[in-house]
Amino acid sequence: MKKYGLLVAVLGVCASFLLGSSAHALSLAPTYYEINAKPGEVVTKAVRVTNDSDEPIVITHDTTNFVAGAGEKGYPQFTGKQTDVSTLANWITVNVPKITIPPRQKVDVPFTVVVPLDAEPGGHYAALTWGTSSPSAKGSGSVDITGQIATLILLNVAGTTSESGQIISFETASRATNYQKLPVQFVTKIANTGNVHFKPVGQVTIKNMFGRTVATLPFNVVKDGGNILPKSVRVFETTWDKQFAFGKYTATLDASYGKAGTISGEYTFWVVDPLLAIMWAVIAIILVVILILLGTLASRSRNGKADGTVKKGKK
């Protein structure tokens, strides 16, 4: 039964992470905290929980650690609270076990992170989960659990840390080098080889065959996210669209990620619409034919004038 309950909680948290900060008439602000602290430090924050329904609800809470999930999309994989007291989920406390929120009301719920004196420097990751319940029609005092959402907590413990990373690849989707038209999607894979998370930011610059910049695209500009957890790889997607393109182009990625440094990548591709190419080829052929005809007529005209002058001289 506990196993089933944990599964429901994990699924609820995953859904909230994918779909936003609300589930079953409950919403949070913020859904994400990034905290820097020293060993032995006590940090207090608060989460604003809002009841968006027309009925009172009771909220409960719990904590779970998480790591980078499979698929390299940045989704967390929740690993539970565990018995290891050296993990962040065991450092988080909320003094009130249950809170009743009236309809269309909000409440600020404080929580405390107590960092142990012997906490390992670097990144620690956990989620503070919030369960919603409402009075059941089956009987007095009974509740129905309707869902869970989460506040993700990324804690960086000061000390000797390693912030490092590398770009694994920068290319178009499916490694294609030929496109008929926009959009063109660029896929970047970046590895975090250190022990603390970081968020790469920068831009992708598109230049045509003449070296002129035709587009500048922001890289990893997202709210409350875009971080790469330690010892993991994350994929970032950047799309070039809403513009006409024809010919050869070069895309260049330039990004930085804090103390870890900078990364760069380059990819060359073509955008050629076959129908447009045929149309332009036909126009080019027509122009060439016209130029040839005009040249021939001009040559004949010059020759005719020359012949007329010679004959007049003989008379």
- The proportion of the chain whose per-residue pLDDT surpasses 90, expressed as a percent, equals 55
Q: Is the pLDDT of residue 42 over 90?
A: yes
Distance between CA atoms of residues 180 and 8, nearest Å: 45
Quick: pLDDT tens for 262-277.
Answer: 889 999 999 987 665 5
Q: Answer with the residue of higher pLDDT: 303 or 119.
A: 119
Domains and CATH numbers, the chain: 2-157 (2.60.40.10), 165-271 (2.60.40.3880)
Distance between CA atoms of residues 180 and 271, nearest Å: 5
Among 93-97, 203-207, 219-223, 283-287, the range with the most confident prediction by mean pLDDT is 203-207
Q: Report pLDDT for 1.
A: 37
Residues in Cβ contact with 257 at an 8 Å cutoff, skipping those fewer than 6 apart: 163, 165, 190, 198, 199, 200, 201, 228, 263
> The tokens 């409402």 sit on which residue?
134
Distance between CA atoms of residues 149 and 100, nearest Å: 16
Quick: pLDDT tens for 28-37.
Answer: 999 989 999 9
Quick: pLDDT tens for 48-80.
Answer: 999 999 999 999 999 999 999 888 988 899 888
Quick: pLDDT tens for 123-173.
Answer: 999 999 998 754 443 333 333 334 578 999 999 999 999 989 999 999 999
Distance between CA atoms of residues 310 and 298, nearest Å: 19
pTM of the model: 0.76
Backbone φ and ψ for 271, nearest 5 degrees, come out as -125, 105
Take residue 20 and report the two structure tokens written for it. 């936003």
- Per the prediction, the chain carries an average pLDDT of 83
Q: Answer with the residue of higher pLDDT: 261 or 282.
A: 261
Nearest Cα to 12, choosing from 106, 137, 130?
Answer: 130
